Amino acid sequence: MFLHAPGWSCAIAVASLLLGCPDSDPAVAYKELTEEQAPWRAQVGLEWESRPELFGGRAAWYSAVDFSATQERDWRLDTAVQAGIAAKGPGSTWRFGIEYYDGRVPLGEFFQDTESRFTIGLWVDH
């Protein structure tokens, strides 16, 4: 769901509540918009994780996909796909994997540009 006031965009993520994800809270983001930017954005993603059966039950396979589109880019689909191994620790999850991304540059001033990249990475979720 998106709310818009002159010069500001407020995005409220309600999908986690609608889908009944018990560990998710709605997120709120604010961003000041320029004349070239438009307020509307659509985003959906899915994540899968196997049972912890790797490394003596300490890690699991995971995969995730995220799709988003923005009004300012004429609803061009931005895609992120990630897969690898996840290990949960006290208060955090460590993920090692590969990611493919094709879409909007994450830096605000380059919002009309597109980039494609492969990444091998280590991510820590708190």
% the chain with pLDDT above 90: 52
Is 120 in the same domain as 60? yes
Is 19 in the same domain as 54? no
Q: How confident is the model at residue 39 (pLDDT cuts 50, 70, 90)?
A: confident
How many C-beta atoms surround the C-beta of residue 73 within 10 A? 19
Is 120 in the same domain as 91? yes
Region 68-95: mean pLDDT is 93
Is 76 in the same domain as 53? yes
- pLDDT (0 to 100) of residue 29: 62
- What is the longest distance spanned by two Cα atoms in the chain? 54
Is 47 in the same domain as 97? yes
How many C-beta atoms surround the C-beta of residue 17 within 10 A? 12
Is 103 in the same domain as 51? yes
- pLDDT (0 to 100) of residue 24: 55
Top-confidence residue, 113 or 1: 113
32 has a pLDDT exceeding 70: no
Is 54 in the same domain as 113? yes
The count of domains in the chain is 2
Q: Which domain holds residue 51?
A: 37-125
Region 24-49: mean pLDDT is 76
- pLDDT (0 to 100) of residue 3: 39
- pLDDT (0 to 100) of residue 9: 35
How many C-beta atoms surround the C-beta of residue 30 within 10 A? 9
Top-confidence residue, 126 or 17: 126
Is 116 in the same domain as 104? yes
**Pairing outcome for strands 8-12 and 2-5:** antiparallel
Is 69 in the same domain as 22? no
Is 13 in the same domain as 26? yes
- pLDDT (0 to 100) of residue 55: 94
Region 62-89: mean pLDDT is 94
Is 101 in the same domain as 45? yes
